[in-house]
């Protein structure tokens, strides 16, 4: 058991019959009344995000999750196949189990999979990745007064907004959490 004093970002708790990860929390001490903790919780299985308030000192059940490094192999249209880097066991997951991370999976990508017992509960792709631009419209020369952006399709099929100077065939670094362009990568 943990109390609200033990809250930290990334902590997984058992709350209302499900596994929830603390995304944000704030201890509040009002001038009148007892202290409390405002949290933003994300359901590990469904991805649903909710705001929840706990009384200061309230006990919650902390869930231990084990993180293992796996390598993404391929998908067959329905399932995604991963290999454990230590035991070489194969793990098969569906797109729903992986969540938004499916947009960034490339062959031989190392990902972190969190397990609750033997049940995979979360797949974490690297926060920053270098991906190749496969399709984008050419930027108009001199059209930089507005600092505009244009859509670009990456090698995984995901579309992100990039600056006008980015061209097809270039490799760019993106933030997978915010789905945004960071910089061009020199090859």
Give the pLDDT confidence of 38-90 residue by residue, as tens digits. Answer: 999 988 877 788 999 999 989 999 888 888 999 999 988 889 999 998 888 99
Which of 85, 103, 83 lies closest to 93, judged by CA?
A: 83
Share of the chain above pLDDT 90, in %: 40
3 state DSSP class of 108: coil
Closest CA to 147 of 126, 159, 165: 165
- Residue 85: closest CA among 60, 68, 102, 109: 68
Tokens for 151? 């859509």
Is 134's pLDDT higher than 80? yes
> Rounded to whole angstroms, how far apart are CA atoms 151 and 50?
31
Q: Please give the Cα distance from 124 to 102 (Å, whole number).
A: 10
Say if residues 185 and 130 touch (Cβ distance below 8 Å). Answer: yes
Domains of the chain: 2-62 (2.30.30.30), 66-124 (2.40.50.140), 128-185 (2.40.50.140)
The Cα–Cα gap between 174 and 187 comes to 15
Helix (H) or strand (E) holding 151: strand 149-154
Vertex 170, ends 133 and 146: CA angle to 5°? 80
Instruction: Name the one residue in this structure whose structure tokens are 């189990």.
Output: 97
Q: State residue 145's pLDDT score.
A: 57
Q: Indicate the pTM of the whole model.
A: 0.73
Banded pLDDT at 149 (limits 50, 70, 90): confident
Distance from chain centroid for Cα 167: 27
């Amino acid at each position: 058991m943990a109390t609200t004093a033990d809250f930290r970002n990334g902590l997984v708790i058992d709350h209302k019959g499900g596994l929830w990860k603390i995304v944000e929390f704030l201890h509040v001490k009002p001038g009148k009344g007892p202290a409390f903790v405002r949290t933003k919780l994300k359901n590990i299985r469904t991805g649903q995000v909710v705001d929840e308030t706990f009384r200061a000192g309230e006990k919650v059940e902390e869930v231990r999750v084990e993180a293992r490094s796996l390598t993404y192999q391929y998908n067959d249209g329905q399932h995604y196949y991963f290999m454990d880097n230590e035991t070489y066991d194969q793990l098969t997951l569906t797109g729903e189990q992986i969540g938004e991370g499916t947009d960034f999976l490339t062959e031989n990508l190392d990902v972190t999979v969190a397990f609750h017992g033997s049940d995979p509960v979360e797949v974490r792709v690297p926060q920053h990745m270098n991906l190749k631009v496969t399709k984008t419209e050419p930027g108009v020369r001199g059209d930089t007064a507005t600092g505009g952006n244009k859509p670009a399709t990456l090698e995984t099929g995901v579309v992100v907004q990039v600056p006008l100077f980015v061209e097809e065939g270039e490799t760019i670094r993106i933030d997978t959490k915010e789905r945004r362009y960071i910089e061009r990568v020199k090859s």
